[in-house]
Each structure stands twice: as structure tokens, then as C-alpha cells.
Amino acid sequence: MSNYPHPLIAREGWPFIAAAFLIALLVNIYAGFLWAIFFWLMAVFVLQFFRDPPREVPSVPNAVLSPADGRIVAVEKVHDPYLKRDAVKISVFMNVFNVHSNRSPVDGNVRNKWYFPGKFINADLPKASLENERNALWIKADDGSDVTCVQVAGLIAKRIICNALPGDHLLRGQRFGFIRFGSRVDVYLPLDTKINVNIGDKVHATTTVLAELRK
């Protein structure tokens, strides 16, 4: 997988940002500023949605980093439907004001990738994990642990972008995808993982340590 560098603004958003500001400018020119206020506000909203700031990677050994900005909506023991095992699932819900670039939670090799078409119900609901459109990555962490990272579409999210492919080696905090607009990311971890977050906690991609894998 090629490195996916884009300073401050995600490349996935460049066409949308350009279109939004062009529309606002044209309305401003031909109809006046008062008529264009709504379009300028929408253009600023689109710009902030696609922001993608650099993040510092914590040096905590065996850390599982948050793959997304948002709020923890689930920490529970479940059946991992992708690797067919019992696991601990941590779910991060992203609203439209969060950064939506997704980053690898661990250092490891991508062993497999699955895409499932589905519904677009509110991603804050538990059933969204299995009913909504989603893209799952099986990452074999460098310490041998199995981690499943799942991008889940939301109520108005219509596009999941995943640039990682089987065989790629991801580094913790490395950008691997993006979801438009409002969604969640589920992480399935081994049962003996030390969990560092609780439901309701606000987290930030890369900088928040969700959990620590047992050595």
C-alpha cells in the first residue's frame, strides 16, 4: 500500500471542497453575498469535514490505538463474525464534526479484507455493526495477536474508502481509509486484552490508546 500523505486536508475531499467553494463563489457573484451566505457556510462545513491533521503516535508498548475520532459507544464481549472467535469489541462512533480519516490501530500485516453491502441505519445503534455497509480488515499484529478493524457506514455515509490490501504492512497510526459522512469503526480484540476506555469516552485517532495487547 502506498503511503497516503496529505497535509491537513484529506485528498478524498478535494473535489467536494472545490465544488462547494465554486458554487458559493458563483452565487456570491451573480446573486450577492446575502444569498450566498448559506453556500459559504456549507463550503466551510465541507472543508472542516475533510480535515486530516497529523497525529503523534504514543510510545506505549503493545498499544491498540483508536482508528477514528469520536465517542466510545460499545465495549463488550462478542463473537467476532469475521475471524469466528470470541473477542472484545470496542466501537467508536463518528459524528459529522469529527475527523473521518481512519488509521491503523496496531503495527501488523493485513491478512484479509472483506466488503459487505448493507443498510445505512444510524451508526450509533448496535445493529449497525452487522447490518450496515462495512469493510473489515484482519490485521495480524507484529506480536502475533489478531485484530479485526471494521469501517461501518452510517445514516448518511454513502462511501467507505479503504486503501489497504492483503499483504500490506500497516504501522500504528498510518492512514488507511476514509468514510463519508458520519459512521463508526469497530475493533475486535483478543479476550485477554487490557481495555483502557469506557462507554461515553471521547477518543482521537492515533493519540488515544484504546487498549493494550497482552505480551
What stretches of 125-190 show up as alpha helix (H) in DSSP? 128-131
Residues with a known catalytic role: 183
* Separation of alpha carbons 95 and 101, rounded Å: 12
167: left (phi over 0), alpha (psi -120 to 50) or beta: left
Cβ of 77: how many Cβ atoms within 10 Å?
9
What stretches of the chain show up as alpha helix (H) in DSSP? 14-31, 33-49, 128-131
Strands 63-65 and 194-195, by their bridges, are unpaired
185 φ, ψ to 5°?
-130, 130
* Separation of alpha carbons 197 and 189, rounded Å: 13
